Structure 1
Amino acid sequence: MNYKSVHDITLLNIPKIIDPEGRGNLSVIEKDVLPYAIKRVYYLYDVPSGSTRGGHAHKEQLEFLIPISGSFDVILDDGSHKKTFTLNQPYKGLLIPKGIWRELQNFSSGAICLVISSGEFLESDYIRSYDSFQLFKGSQSKS
């Protein structure tokens, strides 16, 4: 998985099983839905109106974001271009590759963002300032 720009990133469908008796739907993440082994799962909820989450990039970790409930926007930045995704369907998720800056905003009331990560928490994998992110992206393009 080697994305050159945010324009290469798209929403991914999560397998959806529709109950023929109308009792609700089921979505499953297993086998080859994600291109990595799941190492960590966490979720964001009770995000106050007007708050922004994210504001970082990962050097190695991949993350898959799913809107379990409600909606929110994810702004991705590859250092040259930005692209906004509105996540509002629990059977579609956003796979964020390494080296992509992300910000989450416009959380609806009751929104829940599930994150499925390729790595356990490791502070040294985070790039937490945008200036450091730009330096990281510059060093990547030279290698």
Structure 2
Amino acid sequence: MQVKLIPLQAHGDERGSLVALEEGKNIPFEIKRVYYMFKTNPGVRRGFHAHKTLKQVAIAVRGSCRFMLDDGRERVDILLDNPAQGLLIESFMWREMYDFSDDCVLMVLADQLYDENDYVRDYEAFISQVQEG
């Protein structure tokens, strides 16, 4: 499985740092939705789904968390702890997020609006669809 971490150029000086997110430049799709998670309780795992067509870029804007990505054949574990780096999550990729630091703010950019019909929330159904596909 190819996991792509996208470098996001940080600009800064003695006043602080800034990262610009631009579709077609450092974000490889049209941005239709942005959401973020914060104050995740200790020991909580999130995600537990795949998307049929949706693509996302996840950025740990503050703190850190881990991603487990599974394409139905291989699993990888990725630490996100750099606000100047995004994790590209292609469609039909099972994801679980965990090990959130107390201060973690995880921002996600998506190429589509929310659509419950795009979700695969059962891992066995996900594996079946991968094998069919």
TM-score normalised by structure 2 residue count: 0.96
Indicate the SS of the match to 1:47. Answer: coil
Matched, 1:11 2:5: yes
Q: Distance in 1 between matches of 2:27 and 2:128?
A: 29
Matched residues in 2 for 1:32 and 1:11: separation? Answer: 14
> 1:110, CA displacement in angstroms?
1.4
Q: CA deviation at 1:15?
A: 1.6
Deviations 1:86-120 (A, max 9, x none): 00010011000001100000000011100000010
CA displacement at 1:79 relative to structure 2: 0.5
1:29-78 Cα deviation digits (max 9, x unpaired)? 11421111000000011100000011100000001000011100000001
- Whether the aligned pair in 2 keeps the contact of 1:15 and 1:29 (CA below 8 Å) is no
* 1:27 counterpart residue number: 19
Q: When you count strand as a share of all residues, which structure comes out higher?
A: 2
Describe the superposition over 1:109-140 as per-residue Cα deviations: whole angstroms up to 9, x where unpaired. 01110000001000110000101100111122
Match 1:47 to one of 40, 45, 59: 40
Counterpart amino acid of residue 82 in structure 1: R
| Structure 1 unaligned blocks of 5 or more | none
Identity among equivalent positions (%) equals 34
The two structures, once aligned, show a CA RMSD in angstroms of 0.8
1:1-143 matched pairs, under 5 angstroms: 5=1, 8-19=2-13, 22-30=14-22, 31-140=24-133
Q: Which consecutive residues of structure 2, in runs of 5 or more, have no partner in the other structure?
A: none
CA distance in 1, matches of 2:28, 2:130: 23
- For 1:43, the aligned partner's letter is Y
Aligned length, in residue pairs: 132
> Residue 113 of structure 2 aligns to which amino acid in structure 1?
E
